[in-house]
Chains A and B, each alone.
Chain A
Amino acid sequence: MLESNGLSNRRTYLLATGALSASLLGGCLDADDGSDVLGDPEYAEDRPDPGGVSMEEMPDLNGSLTVYSGRSQPRIGELMEYVENLYDDFSLEVRYDDTADLISAIETEDETPADVFYGSETQSMTHLKDEGYTVSLPNDVLELAGEDSVDPDGYWTGFTRRFRAIAYNTDSFDADELPDDIFAYAEDERFRGTLMWPPDQGSFQAFITVMRLLEGEEGTRDWLRAMVDEQDVVASPGGDSALAQAVGDGEVGVGLTNHYVVRDHGGDSIDLAFTNDDAGSMYNVTGGAVMADSDEQETAADFVRHLVSAEAQEYFATTTWEYPTIDGVEPLEELPGTDEFDPPDFDLNELADPEPTLELLRSEDVL
């Protein structure tokens, strides 16, 4: 389980030093080649050198690429600039927007200017694949990441993995009294009136989709009903971040959320627990795909390759608190290792059709 003092230290540190000193620190760390250290210096330090293939060993990037990114600038902006600055003859235009905006634009555009689509989940990438907007990636790109994070058809590859988790208030519960079964949360009286979920979030809906796949329509419906009728679950006032805040403040004891949310929200009294081999610990991946309309498909594929490099994976591990998809880079030590819990088996492509899930949520008055 997660060491809460790790989170606590981090927060105290940042409050004490502030952003200015953080950047000064960053400036001093890696002075030999003139560029800043990549990623959050607090966590990037004192880690073993990352394994995997370094960007230096990868083909050089030339020309210019346009990336449609469903991930936001605060998360990946630094990495994008890093990659662009590696090469003199390479320029990168990143269009940060909502995933839905980007998909709609691609579908509406006569010919998309995008060379690469950077998805924050697999649904959008599967959707683009199914509609024929993307091309398959070269095998030497696909084989860099672990099999469970790559499209079996080879049209996208995962950059990071993100898990559903149970966020709990450490003053209300101890780690070892939390069940490792998502259904227990709908039955156990200890959680009655102290549960929160974010039903309008895509990641929550993907979690329900996996539950439908694993437990069937009725099993999922029963779980939803029990959560609403028996446990009086409340909806988050503002997505996952507000949920984490509510858990951290002790307003609720338990929230169903994404594991990385605790990086930024919830204060010192929040920690994570994971369920075993059920939808409660399902994961999704962020990743990239190359657009069929692109005139620079080779460069685009090499750009995708750069994001499964040792440096990029280390950046994700330390800065976005996600799980790397390559061997050789470990998740942050503040997070449980993937050997400490057992995610369910499912095909990420199955997440692409949310409509039955939306219908279910609507019919149960959850959405």
Chain B
Amino acid sequence: MPVTDPFEVDERSPDADDHVRDDERESALPAGLTLLAAAVAAVVVVPVLWIGFLALSVDPERTLSIVVRPTTLEVLSNTLLLITLVTTFSVLIGVPLAVLTVLTDLPYSRFWMVALSLPLVIPSYTSAYAYISVWGPHGLVQSLLDPFGVASLPEIYGMPGTVFILTLYNYPFVYITTVAGLRSFDKTYLDAARTLETDLLSVFRRVVLPMAKPAIAAGALLAALETAGDFGVPAMLRLNVFTRQIYVEYNALAHDYAALLSLHLVAIALVILAIEYHVRDHQSVHGGARGGSRSYTISLGRLKWPALAACSLVVLLAIVLPIAFLLSWLVRGPETYVGAFGFRPEYAINSMFVSLLAALAAAVLALPVAYLAANHRSPVSTVLERATYVGFAIPGVVIGLSLVYFGSSYLPALYQTLPILVFAYVVLYLPLAVGAARTSFVYVTPHFVEAARTLGCTPTQAFRRITLPLVVPGIVAGGALVFLHAMKELPATLLLRPTGFESLATFIWMAERNAYYSYAAVPALVLVCVSGIAILGALPGDGRKYWSSLRRGTGFTDDSDTGTGGEGTNGDQENPADGGSGRASEDFRTERDHDRSGIPAQPKGITNPTDRTRSAPDGGYSRVPAESGSAIVPPDEYGEATADEDVVLELETVTKAFSGEAAVDALSLTVREGELLTLLGPSGCGKTTTLRLIAGLDRPDTGIVRFHGRAIAGEAEFVPSEKRDVGIVFQDFALFPHKTVAENVGFGLESKTETERDELVEEVLELVGLAQYRERYPDELSGGQKQRIALARSLAPEPDLLLLDEPLSNLDAGLRVRMRETVAEILNAVDVTAVWVTHNQEEALSVGDRTAVMNGGSIEQIAPPRRLFMRPASRMVADFLGRASYLTGRPADGGLETPIGPVEFDKLVTSGDRPSEPLEVLLRPDDIAVMPRSADDADGWIVNRKFNGPTVRYRIELENGTVLESRHSHEEWLEPGTPVAVTISASHKLPTFESARE
């Protein structure tokens, strides 16, 4: 099996073309990208490995004494308890706050979103100082309460205080990721759940939480790792955890000791990563095709005030209190002589500069790791992604020292320069960028890229025009998180900064170290303000919305406005069969014909609508089914169509296997000019894979694909998707969410001038009846509208062949039927050759000129719909198209002897020779009639009755156990149990199959 290109190896399972699984195509790791990601991971992990190296150099006896020290167990249990409690409380605070600000009508939710994320920017060394001063023994709070007889407050030292402060400053990790999660998932699930559940609480428990779980887990991971590695707070609050032990040993100049203790931290980090990996859901969370970002509002009602109070309390405790503390010192004024010591604006500029560099570097380095983790899930990509997280749990001082070692030993020219400091930030905070980028890569469904490629983009162009713009908000968010962490990072900064380089963090540290709090106030405020601006970038979702409204030249539209506005207009636009589109189709066609004369167009072969005939030549061919009774299809009046010159597409014994199992197996197929071929088959039969092979999105293992007689895929050649004149409409529409309707439709028209493009877009939009929506964004459209835009987008470049992959499956039932007609009309109007994949037989039969029934990777039969129904080539085809029952008969004189009496050969389709073996006669429900009879004269009795309104369907069991179905007018009403005689009422010949049983 010649797989020439290593990048094309695809490990899908054979049933991967099932639509549900289509999004989850897993492919082998691309070598170049994997190497790049591995390099990034290695660069980040090496400094961590250095700790192990250092720890190994400790004298074994000493190592033992450290490990078995009686306090080690206490320290370990304290550390684990601290991590567990902080993470749990962070989730308990972060998730409800996220739900409040995203899903409810909480007033000023945008303000709260920023304010509730802001604790992330407060350095823990500042907040811990503030809390000890305010809440500690004889602190501000106690002295205020003293007159009321409160002699002491709950102890702030030890576990309770440490958990409290770390939770207060780490919950935003959970908050921010959960906000992102809640914003991205399909809100229609919420509607659905609310109709099923009476209790809002159980809606959350059973729907919201499970769906937000990956986001919550991602935030909890960061909170846990940050807690594990926090140096300042446990040290100041005297909680014996590993970081405090490291701190004490470090200050006692026992670095080997500190390194050994750091190894404990690494181990804990690995355990946390493993736990999160198991909690995280493993399905891709591609943006729902219908969901979009429509806002969802649960009315708080009387709960509004408690909700506001809760938000205010958190902001008060986490932000207002420490800042007020610093301000109070500022008001007291400088109390002592400090010589040359004083804050300079350059410190702020220094901080911003290095942090910005770190954010950029982290964003760039995160790309390969995140892309790999999102798009090529495998043990390798998982390990690479996880590896980047380890640095996050290691105290900055350890990473700093490690880089002192590497820098001074191997890169002395860079030692104590900004690049190495920036690199330290990258090692420490890369997971923030990786996580954000990974999430946004996951959001970009492969269909976006594939759609772009069928619209003429090379892979590189598709990345630039589609993937990159879509992931930029996520990358910016990750960069913003890195930025604000770098702004407040202290230990590594102190170790690695150039001598004489002061930042906000080092200045605040120096002031607080000497207890000159008044000097710390101004830089701390600058730090909070600058980081607060960065928080805006880190908040999910806002960016694109502002960008959209900016481009549209209108003011910012609130979610709710868009929602109601959209719904209002959706109502009347939903009917696709309105006159507008019909008229538009006419215009479009003439315009296009017109167009062709004006533009030096490529030969299109679009026939004049008047003499073009939609019905393809009758017939088709059938391959001999391998099992379940071979068909007896004699040459008859329909005849076998011979391949002629107007064949557009030809597949010749094409095979495509995934993981060794054939998804498409020696399939041959021709599509003729102007015809609409429907590919019908059950889930997993290979129909989508066939479509992808035609589109050039997959490459066949063997066989040849010819387009206008030229091989476009085969042993030697492969024309990529963008070079084929093929358009595709996906089940999920794959409309580019960052482009307007007009931009989406015009996407494949890059080569045209702006005027031509505008005209074409206008025409196509009129054709689909959505001209007035040209400036809308996809998330503001209804499902039916999206469908028509997707169609318009594929039609605009006038493809020679249009492929539709279950185009109606994502629509609800009523709309489905109406859209089926609309789409068929549009396809007729532009007279494009089309292949339409569906699993819905009614759809296939009603729109197709010919229908190919697929099963197990090959075509069972291909024929015009009526012939397919009347002359099924196999029982599989017969069973798949409508209800079928079978009556076995033995050949006898001039006919078959059946349980309901003899059937003459004249009424049967048989092979030319007189059959000698028993045959099975295909009976459709309307081929037979039943009449009540006395039990003695009856053939069988009615065992079941189904009333459908106009008709009623009876199930009859014959004496020999055969079950038949018969459809009658609603006027004929028989009770189950009635003995009946069965007669064949069909006036056409009945297909027969060789009996497979016996």
A237-B137, A238-B515, A265-B515 known; A73 and B341 CB under 8 Å?
yes
Q: Which residues of B contact A75 (CB under 8 A)?
A: 339, 514
Over the window 102-126 of chain A, the binary record of Cβ atoms lying under 8 Å from chain B Cβ atoms (1 yes, 0 no) is: 0111011111110000000001100
B interface bracket (residues with beta carbon within 8 Å of A): 35 or more
In the assembled complex, B238 has its CB within 8 A of some CB on chain A:
yes
User: Contacting A367 at CB < 8 Å: which of B248, B341, B408?
Assistant: B248
**Chain A interface: which of B82-90, B493-501, B699-707?**
B493-501
A98 and B405 contacting across the interface, CB-CB below 8 Å: no
In the assembled complex, B334 has its CB within 8 A of some CB on chain A:
yes
B340 and A105 contacting across the interface, CB-CB below 8 Å: no
In the assembled complex, B71 has its CB within 8 A of some CB on chain A:
yes
A72-B514, A75-B514 known; A19 and B334 CB under 8 Å?
yes
**Chain A interface: which of B249-257, B269-277, B596-604, B855-863?**
B249-257
In the assembled complex, A95 has its CB within 8 A of some CB on chain B:
yes
Q: Which residues of A contact B516 (CB under 8 A)?
A: 74, 264
CA A107 – CA B255 in complex, angstroms? 9
CA A3 – CA B653 in complex, angstroms? 105
A354 and B339 contacting across the interface, CB-CB below 8 Å: no
> Which of B253, B334, B415, B516 has the largest count of A CB atoms less than 10 A from its CB?
B253
In the assembled complex, B853 has its CB within 8 A of some CB on chain A:
no
**Across the two chains, which residue of chain B brings its CB closest to A265?**
B515
In the assembled complex, B335 has its CB within 8 A of some CB on chain A:
yes
B340 and A78 contacting across the interface, CB-CB below 8 Å: yes
Over the window 67-106 of chain A, the binary record of Cβ atoms lying under 8 Å from chain B Cβ atoms (1 yes, 0 no) is: 0000011110111010000000000011111111101110
User: Contacting A238 at CB < 8 Å: which of B129, B416, B499?
Assistant: B129
CB distance from A10 to the nearest CB of B (A): 9
Q: Which residues of A contact B333 (CB under 8 A)?
A: 15, 18-19
CA A239 – CA B401 in complex, angstroms? 26
Q: Which residues of B contact A66 (CB under 8 A)?
A: 499
User: Contacting B515 at CB < 8 Å: which of A94, A105, A241?
Assistant: A241
In the assembled complex, B404 has its CB within 8 A of some CB on chain A:
yes
* CB neighbors of A among B901-925 (8 A): none
**Across the two chains, which residue of chain A brings its CB closest to B404?**
A108
B510 and A96 contacting across the interface, CB-CB below 8 Å: yes
CB distance from A248 to the nearest CB of B (A): 11
Over the window 569-599 of chain B, the binary record of Cβ atoms lying under 8 Å from chain A Cβ atoms (1 yes, 0 no) is: 0000000000000000000000000000000
> Which of A14, A94, A104, A113 has the largest count of B CB atoms less than 10 A from its CB?
A104
* CB neighbors of A among B483-518 (8 A): 491, 494-495, 499-500, 510-511, 513-516
A94-B499, A237-B136 known; A200 and B404 CB under 8 Å?
no
User: Contacting A108 at CB < 8 Å: which of B139, B405, B416?
Assistant: B405
CB distance from B918 to the nearest CB of A (A): 90
In the assembled complex, B948 has its CB within 8 A of some CB on chain A:
no
Q: Which residues of A contact B510 (CB under 8 A)?
A: 72-74, 96
In the assembled complex, B236 has its CB within 8 A of some CB on chain A:
yes
CA A94 – CA B416 in complex, angstroms? 13
Over the window 131-157 of chain B, the binary record of Cβ atoms lying under 8 Å from chain A Cβ atoms (1 yes, 0 no) is: 011001111000000000000000001
Over the window 328-340 of chain B, the binary record of Cβ atoms lying under 8 Å from chain A Cβ atoms (1 yes, 0 no) is: 0000011111111
B137 and A234 contacting across the interface, CB-CB below 8 Å: yes
CA A319 – CA B157 in complex, angstroms? 34
Q: Which residues of B contact A202 (CB under 8 A)?
A: 251
A11 and B412 contacting across the interface, CB-CB below 8 Å: no
A18 and B401 contacting across the interface, CB-CB below 8 Å: no
Q: Which residues of A contact B341 (CB under 8 A)?
A: 73-74, 77-78
A200 and B238 contacting across the interface, CB-CB below 8 Å: yes
Over the window 205-234 of chain A, the binary record of Cβ atoms lying under 8 Å from chain B Cβ atoms (1 yes, 0 no) is: 100000000000000000000000000001
A78 and B409 contacting across the interface, CB-CB below 8 Å: no
CA A264 – CA B516 in complex, angstroms? 9
CA A95 – CA B415 in complex, angstroms? 14
In the assembled complex, A263 has its CB within 8 A of some CB on chain B:
yes
Q: Which residues of A contact B129 (CB under 8 A)?
A: 238
Q: Which residues of A contact B408 (CB under 8 A)?
A: 108-112
**Across the two chains, which residue of chain B brings its CB closest to A131?**
B253
* CB neighbors of B among A273-321 (8 A): 319
CA A242 – CA B341 in complex, angstroms? 21
CA A78 – CA B253 in complex, angstroms? 28
Q: Which residues of A contact B499 (CB under 8 A)?
A: 66, 93-95, 113
In the assembled complex, A1 has its CB within 8 A of some CB on chain B:
no
**Across the two chains, which residue of chain B brings its CB closest to A42?**
B337
B253 and A22 contacting across the interface, CB-CB below 8 Å: no
In the assembled complex, B397 has its CB within 8 A of some CB on chain A:
yes
* CB neighbors of A among B192-241 (8 A): 235-236, 238
A237 and B337 contacting across the interface, CB-CB below 8 Å: no
A100-B250, A100-B253, A238-B236 known; A105 and B404 CB under 8 Å?
yes
A101-B494, A104-B250, A265-B515 known; A22 and B337 CB under 8 Å?
yes
Nearest first, the 8 A-B pairs at minimum CB distance are A78-B339, A241-B515, A74-B341, A251-B138, A40-B337, A109-B408, A77-B340, A74-B338
A-B contact pairs, 20 of them (CB 8 A): A14-B334, A14-B335, A15-B333, A72-B514, A73-B340, A74-B339, A74-B511, A74-B519, A93-B500, A100-B252, A104-B397, A104-B401, A105-B404, A109-B415, A110-B405, A110-B409, A111-B408, A237-B137, A239-B515, A358-B248
* Chain B residues within CB distance 8 Å of chain A: 71, 129, 132-133, 136-139, 157, 235-236, 238, 248, 250-255, 333-341, 397, 400-401, 404-405, 408-409, 412, 415-416, 491, 494-495, 499-500, 510-511, 513-516, 519
**Given contacts A73-B341, A111-B412, could you give 14 more A-B pairs where the C-beta distance is less than 8 Å?**
A11-B335, A14-B336, A19-B334, A40-B337, A42-B337, A73-B340, A74-B519, A95-B499, A103-B253, A104-B253, A113-B499, A238-B133, A242-B133, A264-B336
* Chain A residues within CB distance 8 Å of chain B: 11, 14-15, 18-19, 22, 39-42, 66, 72-75, 77-79, 81, 93-101, 103-105, 107-113, 123-124, 127, 200, 202, 205, 234-235, 237-239, 241-242, 246, 249, 251, 263-265, 319, 354-355, 358, 362, 367
